[in-house]
Chains A and B, each alone.
Chain A
Amino acid sequence: MKALLRAIDRRYYVVAPAERLAALRILVGGFAVVLLLVSAPKFWALASFSAAELAPVGPLFWLEAPLAPGVVYGAFVACVLGGIAFTLGVGYGVVAPIFAALLLLLTTYRSSFGMKFHTENLLVLHVLLLAAAPAADAWRWRGGDAARATAAPAPHGRYGWALCAMSVVTVITYVLAGIAKIRNGGWEWVHGDLLRAQIAYDNVRKIELGSLHSPLGAAVVRVAWLFPILGWLTMAVELLAPVALLGRRWASGWALLAWGFHAGVLAVMMIGFPYPLTFIAYASLFRAERLGDVRPVRRLVSWLFGGSRSSAASARSSTTAGVDVDTAVTTAVTTAGATAEPPRVPSPKEELAERED
């Protein structure tokens, strides 16, 4: 039992560099800000919905009347500003929970008028997890003062648990979607007829409602033999999503398939799930800090965050900065590709730990 708990602990409270969590903060926070700005007219329009249209859900279940327009506008502006501060890591301990709460409020409110926006669930859940984690210990904006940049702390489990939780949450959402198909449509779903009817229905509805539909979807509906293949593929992506937690190769394969699934949905139904389509939804499965190795990104990070020393460097110079003794060996390993570090050949011990990771 102890061995099992220890194994779970190694997988959950996994040692990770502070930059990895920071990279997730920047990617997810940046995405949320862009989404809010692009969808600003839609969020703004929430202020004009009537009480008759209100169908409150989730944390707003208690709402009896629409929010006052001033509250909606104020929450939106505060959420955008909070999102920018969250992304930059400014005042993170205070800003992050406020931003997460505002994003939860706004997106829940948006889903409280008859249509639930399934495109936003995962983003909100990821922001909630990031807000509870020390995601601004590295790559934090310091007012443009490069001299104030300090070494990022050494890798630690406190930077890894949220990444693990984000990945598990991502996987669960796909499994739930698969289970819903089996429960609501039965195993017939994999035969493709239901999928064919869904694509047809979605496009008919858009045509009849005067919205954009997918000409490709309308054409594909006529090709009956294609749908059993698509049905099986869809169910595989959803029900087998947990394989993404087995390791990075599995994660890469699954994430590519899941991305392909969303690209297909966009092509045949004109329904865009921007969070997974940008791949940010799957970023927690990977070493996102390695994006900082790409030269333009490195320059941007250096310009924004003052070119702080990486945790790999600090791990080598000091292994006592809050790192558990039993994890100190792997700390330097997990950041072998961290930013601002010259490439180096890992030692055999490091290679072994890398494989275990």
Chain B
Amino acid sequence: MSRPRAYFFGLTIIAAVAYPVTFAPGEDSFPLSSYPMFSYRRERPTIYFARAIGADGEERRVPPELVGSSEVMQAAVTVRRAIQGGKKRMRELCRAIAGRAEADAGLRGARIELVSAEIDPVAYFVEGPEPVSLRRHHRCRVREGGR
């Protein structure tokens, strides 16, 4: 590669990588990023998740794979979007989770709940794991029979 082309290509990439410094707070993209992860204040964030309540009343967390992604964050976003998307979206997701959960003998007959919880993260570990508030948005049941 000639010197001018080396300068053009290299400096274009460098300038593009630096460009996200102009992003508004909260704005992000890929592969150009402002790398905002870990940067925000987390006072009392709300987390969205799915949980399973067994026939005996015991509560279990639904692993991300059953939500539809092995990535924990992607699963959380899926639950959040369903909750924010309204009843239809919640029903679809709850059924999808219940369908996948049928393969897990321990979850057969359990009740799946889509939940949002406001938490104080530091207090969770220092004082105890109770959420500040918790809200059940939708529920459905895993079939007893399984596959």
Contact = CB atoms under 8 A, between A and B. Distances in A.
Interface in B54-90: 60-64, 68-78, 81, 85, 89
Contact of B33 (A116, A161, A164): A116
Contact of A58 (B7, B30, B40, B64): B30
A335 to B, nearest CB: 20
A176 interface: yes
A48 to B, nearest CB: 8
Contacts of B78: 53, 114
A133 interface: yes
B34 A208 contact: no
A205 B131 CA distance: 12
B125 A208 contact: no
Given A107-B31, A176-B34, A205 B25 contact: no
Given A184-B39, A208-B117, A42 B34 contact: no
Contact of B6 (A104, A158, A211): A158
B38 A115 contact: no
A308 interface: no
Contact of A209 (B37, B76, B81): B76
A194 B41 contact: yes
A234 to B, nearest CB: 8
B10 A116 contact: no
A271 B120 CA distance: 21
Given A129-B13, A194-B41, A210 B47 contact: no
Given A108-B30, A116-B30, A221-B126, A195 B38 contact: yes
Contacts of A162: 6, 10
A45 B13 contact: no
Interface in B1-48: 1-3, 6-7, 9-11, 13-14, 17-18, 20-21, 25-26, 28-43, 45, 47
A133 B121 contact: no
Contact of A121 (B6, B30, B47): B30
A204 B119 CA distance: 9
B38 A164 contact: no
What range describes how many residues of A lie at the interface?
35 or more
B74 A114 contact: yes
Nearest to B79: A209
B31 A121 contact: yes
Which label, helix, strand, loop or mixed, suits the secondary structure of the A interface?
helix
A277 interface: no
A115 B25 CA distance: 17
A13 B81 contact: no
Contact of B63 (A52, A115, A211, A222): A211
Most buried by A among B6, B38, B76, B89: B38
What range describes how many residues of B lie at the interface?
35 or more
Contact of A169 (B17, B25, B124, B126): B17
Given A115-B71, A200-B124, A221-B125, A185 B39 contact: yes
B122 A173 contact: no
B61 A210 contact: yes
A52 to B, nearest CB: 7
A12 interface: yes
Most buried by A among B1, B10, B76: B10
A186 to B, nearest CB: 8
Nearest to A124: B31
27 contacts: A13-B3, A45-B70, A48-B68, A52-B89, A53-B81, A57-B28, A116-B33, A118-B33, A158-B1, A173-B33, A176-B21, A181-B38, A184-B40, A194-B41, A195-B38, A197-B41, A197-B122, A198-B42, A209-B61, A209-B76, A210-B49, A210-B60, A210-B62, A221-B122, A221-B125, A222-B125, A222-B126
Given A115-B77, A176-B35, A205-B47, 17 more contacts: A45-B69, A58-B29, A111-B30, A113-B69, A132-B1, A161-B10, A172-B18, A180-B35, A188-B41, A194-B41, A197-B42, A197-B122, A200-B121, A201-B121, A207-B129, A210-B62, A221-B125
